[in-house]
A and B are shown apart, each in its own frame.
Chain A
Amino acid sequence: MLREHLRKPVAKLGLVLLALMPFAWLCSGIFLDRLGSNPAEYLIRSTGDWTLRFLCITLLVTPLRVIFNLPELLRFRRNLGVITFFYVLMHALCYSVFDMGLEWDEIALDIAKRPFIAVGFAGAVLLSVLAATSFNAAIKMLGAVRWRKLHRMVYGIALLAILHFFWMRSGKKNFTEVLIYAGILGVLLGWRVWHAAKLRRQSVP
């Protein structure tokens, strides 16, 4: 039953629409004045939060697929990755517009001057490479093996994202949320290491 539903073309559309709900909520919040006294800060923070959340959801696909033996899930992975990129793009845009007033030299200076901005910027740039190669023709062009290798970069991106969040919060020693995301990403990456080791053991005759 579930498998059949997951195979339907409408499932993809449903997922994308669902994933854009937070964005729609934030946009409507601007016009309905629902974002509190500092909407600019709220939008920068929320788009960052949603980037982290979709990064976690994207990285959850493979463990779920393997554990529940649901190969159907694989077709959603690239969509989720692109949605993660969409949110990081919004995050960067909010920062550039609200915090920096779109002054490019100021932005460049900020990236050069502040490690936590540089780390976030690096993560976003790397993610854009993955987003730019997230269509079928790109896989064909690169070859499946090279494509998969390239897209393993997402693990590094996850570490950059957590480091960015940690540094941002370090001055105020407010690490609760950082620890939650770090814990989730730790489990998701740790599972991969464990799973790879298991496969290697099994392949040894």
Chain B
Amino acid sequence: MLIRTQQDGFIHPLSSEITQPEVYANRRQLLRQWSAGAAAMGMASWAQRDAFAQGGAAAAKLAALPATQSGVQGAMNVEKLTPYKDATTYNNFYEFGTEKSYPAQQAHTLKTTPWSIEVEGLVKKPTRFNLEDVMKWGAMQERIYRLRCVEGWSMVIPWIGYSLSDLIKRVEPLPSAKYVEFITQADPQTMPGLRGGYLDWPYIEGLRMDEAMHPLSLLTFGMYGEVLPKQNGAPVRLVVPWKYGFKSGKSLVKIRFVEKQPLVSWAKAAPQEYGFYSNVNPTVDHPRWSQANERRLGEGGLLDKKRKTLMFNGYEAQVSSLYAGMDLVKNF
């Protein structure tokens, strides 16, 4: 009998998305490599990086960030990782300009040490924390998430971090806190994109408290076995895999607990195009393009058909209960 689990966070709709036979045949080896990676924790070795970033061709440029495989439901999908090169050269990080290639070229100016996160608003004791301390508040886990950009492309990235809920529990929000606001770095000295006037800086994102507490919401410090590259939001960012990518703010400097739904950056700039929730939803079009399909970057040829976008980016089993009874067309 087939026992259905939700462990892989994925309901496979197409035969082409089922694990390839050769990968399946090598599953024991894959597991061995993962466990070898876990065993080698603390060693910044090539072997370890390879083990963590299966198929993603680790960069071996930045400091290794040891982690164990996550047990959170939905956190380990079996899809092919996006090549590291694509994940680090094709970025939306408007603080460094609007072209996808600009962050990789320009983000080297970002100063990530020292770094602190200010926790403020409706919490027991508003405090500024050093990044080194925050990094110790949860066990580092590797999680392979799909990333779906609102523009219609997607990637599969092995992130490293811990559930945002670990931080939230630690800072003890007051019962009146209903939303969490994430404020990101805005330094005109190092971020040339701030002069562009595309958005009101700093870039602000937000989640409802239950969304923020969901185990899949990841406070992220690394990817592909290493600390985050600057163009990907070093030294700490958010990753909310069932929402469009822009909901996952980069280079976080402040986390604020509030009572009312915050006015987030894109919803403020273009309210008819971007809503507060911005859950991945193939049935709700962007005004200028369909969201029914997506192009997975770094795989396949130019003429390959796009793949179908999945409800909640394929995390429906894990997160749909958060939105029970809600009109997702109205609350887009």
Selected interface stretch from A33-41, A56-64, A72-80: A33-41
Answer whether residue A168 sits at the interface, using C-beta atoms and an 8 A cutoff.
yes
What separation, in Å, do the CA atoms of A113 and B290 have in the docked complex? 10
- 6 further A-B pairs in the complex, CB-CB below 8 A; given A37-B298, A174-B98: A37-B89, A38-B90, A40-B302, A98-B303, A101-B305, A167-B288
On whether the beta carbons of B90 and A171 are closer than 8 Å, the reply is no
- Chain A residues in 8 Å Cβ range of B2: none
Residues of A within 8 A of B290 (CB): 110
Q: Could you say which of B85, B269, B298 contacts A173, with CB atoms under 8 Å apart?
A: B269
B323 within 8 Å of A (CB atoms): no
List residues of chain A with CB within 8 A of the CB of B198: 172-174
Closest 8 CB pairs of A and B: A37-B90, A37-B86, A171-B273, A101-B305, A173-B198, A37-B297, A174-B98, A171-B270
Q: How far is the CA of A40 from the CA of B297 in the complex (A)?
A: 10
Tally of chain B residues near chain A (CB < 8 A): 29
* Residues on A with beta carbons closer than 8 Å to the beta carbon of B298: 37
Interface residue ranges, B against A (CB under 8 Å):
85-86, 89-90, 98, 100-101, 153, 196-199, 269-270, 273-274, 285-290, 295, 297-298, 302-303, 305-306
Interface check A116, CB cutoff 8 A: yes
Q: Are A173 and B288 in contact (CB under 8 A)?
A: no
Count of A interface residues, CB-CB < 8 Å: 23
Residue from A38, A170, A174 whose CB has the most chain B CB atoms within 10 Å: A38
CA distance A99 to B303 in the complex (A): 10
Q: How far is the CA of A171 from the CA of B269 in the complex (A)?
A: 8
Nearest to B199 among chain A residues (CB) is A173
Instruction: Say yes or no: A38 contacts B297, CB within 8 Å.
Output: yes
Q: Chain A's nearest CB lies how many Å from the CB of B271? A: 11
Contact of B98 among A99, A110, A113, A172 (CB under 8 A): A172
Most buried by B among A36, A43, A97, A167: A36
**With an 8 A cutoff between CB atoms, is A200 at the interface?**
no
Bound CA–CA A65/B153 (angstroms): 46
Within 8 Å CB of B306, what residues of A?
99, 101
With a CB–CB cut-off of 8 A, which chain A residues contact B286? 171
Q: Which residues of B contact A174 (CB under 8 A)?
A: 98, 196, 198
User: Which A positions have Cβ atoms within 8 angstroms of B?
Assistant: 30, 36-41, 43, 97-99, 101, 110, 113-114, 116, 167-168, 170-174
Number of A-B residue pairs, CB cutoff 8 Å, is 55
Of the A-B pairs whose beta carbons lie under 8 Å apart in the complex, a sample of 13, sorted by A's number, is A36-B89, A36-B90, A37-B86, A37-B90, A37-B298, A98-B302, A114-B287, A114-B289, A168-B288, A171-B287, A171-B288, A172-B198, A173-B270
Q: Name B's interface SS.
A: loop
Chain B residue numbers with a CB within 8 Å of A43 are 302
CB distance from A170 to the nearest CB of B (A): 8
Measured between C-beta atoms, what is the minimum distance from A176 to chain B in Å? Answer: 8
Q: List residues of chain B with CB within 8 A of the CB of A113.
A: 285
Cα A36 to Cα B128 in complex, Å, equals 40
Considering only CB atoms, which chain A residue lies closest to B83 in the complex?
A37
A30 contacts which chain B residues (CB < 8 A)?
Answer: 302
- Are A41 and B287 interface neighbours, CB within 8 A? no
Which residues on B sit within 8 Å (CB–CB) of A101? 305-306
CA–CA, A103 and B235, complex, Å: 43
Q: Measured between alpha carbons, how far is A114 from B90 in the docked complex, in Å?
A: 27
Q: Which of B100, B269, B289, B295 contacts A36 (CB 8 A)?
A: B100
**Do A114 and B86 touch across chains, with their CB atoms under 8 A apart?**
no
Q: Determine how close the nearest CB of chain B comes to the CB of A42; give it in whole angstroms.
A: 9
Q: In the complex, which of the residues A36, A37, A39, A110 contacts B302, with contact meaning CB atoms closer than 8 Å? A: A39
Chain B contacts for A170, CB-based, 8 A: 270
- Chain B, residue nearest A110 (CB): B290
**Residue pair A40, B295 in contact (C-beta under 8 Å):** yes
Chain A residues lying within 8 Å of B302, measured Cβ to Cβ, are 30, 39-40, 43, 98
Contact B89 A38 (CB under 8 A): no
